[in-house]
Amino acid sequence: MARKKIALIGSGMIGGTLAHLAGLKELGDIVLFDIADGVPQGKGLDIAQSSPVEGFNASLTGASDYAAIEGADVCIVTAGVARKPGMSRDDLLGINLKVMEQVGAGIKKYAPNAFVICITNPLDAMVWALQKFSGLPKNMVVGMAGVLDSARFRLFLSEEFKVSVQDVTAFVLGGHGDTMVPLARYSTVAGIPLTDLVKMGWVTKERLEEIIQRTRDGGAEIVGLLKTGSAYYAPAASAIEMAESYLKDKKRVLPCAAHLSGQYGVKDMYVGVPTVIGAGGVERIVEIDLNKAEQEAFDKSVGAVAGLCEACINIAPALK
Ligand SMILES: NC(=O)C1=CN([C@@H]2O[C@H](COP(=O)(O)OP(=O)(O)OC[C@H]3O[C@@H](n4cnc5c(N)ncnc54)[C@H](O)[C@@H]3O)[C@@H](O)[C@H]2O)C=CC1
Ligand SMILES: O=C([O-])CC(=O)C(=O)O
């Protein structure tokens, strides 16, 4: 069986890490694309030279011409700019929207059958715009954020409880911004909801709220430490988990920014919700029951994303 083809559009910090992980996991042959000529070629060659040592088989090439992504099975988009200390993700909207227009045209022309995972920020608005610019089916274009935000929540919880990260599950819904909604009721340690763990005395409500706030600020915490850009190891690992679920038809239940057409009362927007990712792309949107407080927090987050989509339409009226 021929290998799958994975196109990485944007070969910066996340793009390079994606290429390394996709190689190590033998997900397929990898094409790195970037407008910075030499960077995708250099990173591709460097990672290819690690393959004899690591023992993986994959071709890694770099390109600055969209023709190189022709026939890709998966495209992972990180093209654009990342924030620096003092900026919010939303400050990136204007510049990254223009990048999404170019990327959308490239994917439409050369990889119309791909499963597309957008990572570029502000995530929910950028994936929404990318789907429209590319014209690909809505179930084949998805945004990565919930897996990362949930991974951060899981890590912080595992450290608090001194248990394995493997035994902690978490769901973070809503937009990938300050209004994201980490759901205590649907996050568990070995199947026990956090709300029960509060009753069992494992953690106080106040401490749990601190952990939830740290999760919401997870991206900013790393931007503040790095000073030159934002997180890339965990974001890359999260997108690879999504790509693998598609390529291997694993049907993982993962929180992703997915196109909603009435689910959760939301129409024609991308917002983080639990999804099933398999060979059919986003095969299902899982509609969980939200209590009043959870619904209010989700609605507030949806409102923030709607504002960003409006801002996109003001810049690019064709998105309407
Ligand atoms: N969704 C999420 O959870 C996360 C999103 N991000 C976002 O991912 C994006 C990428 O982050 P990094 O890889 O750290 O940034 P980076 O700056 O290291 O890489 C971005 C790359 O995009 C390239 N690029 C710029 N304009 C382009 C264009 N028109 N066409 C093709 N390539 C272009 C640049 O040359 C650069 O190599 C940022 O917008 C960042 O905010 C970062 C972490 C998590
Ligand atoms: O914080 C940022 O700018 C990058 C990001 O989205 C994250 O790490 O969650």
Q: What is the ipTM of this complex?
A: 0.99
- Is 291 marked as binding a ligand? no
Spatial CB neighbours of 238, under 8 Å, sequence gap ≥ 6: 144, 147, 148, 151
Question: Ligand 1: distance of its center to the CA of 119 in Å?
Answer: 8
Confidence of residue 284 (pLDDT cuts 50, 70, 90): very high
Backbone angles phi, psi at 248, to 5 degrees: -100, 10
What is the per-residue pLDDT for 121?
Answer: 98
For residue 75, the 8-state DSSP code is E
* pTM: predicted TM-score of the whole model, two decimal places: 0.99
The verdict on domain 146-314 having CATH code 3.90.110.10 is yes
Say if residue 91's pLDDT is above 90. yes
- CATH 3.90.110.10 residue ranges in the chain? 146-314
Q: Which helix (H) or strand (E) holds 158?
A: helix 146-161
Angle, helices 123-134/292-315, rounded to nearest 10 degrees: 50
| Cis omega (within 30 of 0) for bond into 255 | no
Say if residue 1's pLDDT is above 80. no
Ligand 2 first shell, C-beta below 6 A: 82-83, 89, 121, 148, 176, 218-220, 222-223, 230-231, 235
What is the per-residue pLDDT for 73?
Answer: 98
CB 9 within 8 A of CB 40: no
Cα(147)–Cα(135) distance, rounded to whole angstroms? 25
Of the chain, the percentage scoring pLDDT greater than 70 comes to 100
Confidence of residue 90 (pLDDT cuts 50, 70, 90): very high
For residue 184, the 8-state DSSP code is S
- CATH 3.40.50.720 residue ranges in the chain? 5-144
Ligand 1 pocket test, candidate residues 89, 91, 121, 172, most atoms within 8 A of CB = 121
- Is 69 marked as binding a ligand? no
| pLDDT tens for each residue of 146-203 | 999 999 999 999 999 999 999 999 999 999 999 999 999 999 999 999 999 999 999 9
Per the DSSP assignment, residues forming a β-bridge with 75 are 7, 116
Residues counted in the chain: 320
What is the per-residue pLDDT for 42?
Answer: 98
What is the per-residue pLDDT for 200?
Answer: 98
Spatial CB neighbours of 41, under 8 Å, sequence gap ≥ 6: 32, 61, 62, 63
The token duo for 120 is 């570029």
Mean pLDDT on 264-293: 97
Which CATH number is correct for 5-144, 3.40.640.10, 3.40.50.720, 3.40.50.920, 1.10.20.140? 3.40.50.720
| 36: three-class secondary structure by DSSP | coil
Nearest CA to ligand 2 atom 1: 219
Cα(120)–Cα(45) distance, rounded to whole angstroms? 24
What is the per-residue pLDDT for 250?
Answer: 98
Spatial CB neighbours of 249, under 8 Å, sequence gap ≥ 6: 278, 279
Question: Ligand 1: distance of its center to the CA of 10 in Å?
Answer: 6
| pLDDT tens for each residue of 95-137 | 999 999 999 999 999 999 999 999 999 999 999 999 999 999 9
- Is 34 marked as binding a ligand? yes
List the catalytic residues: 176
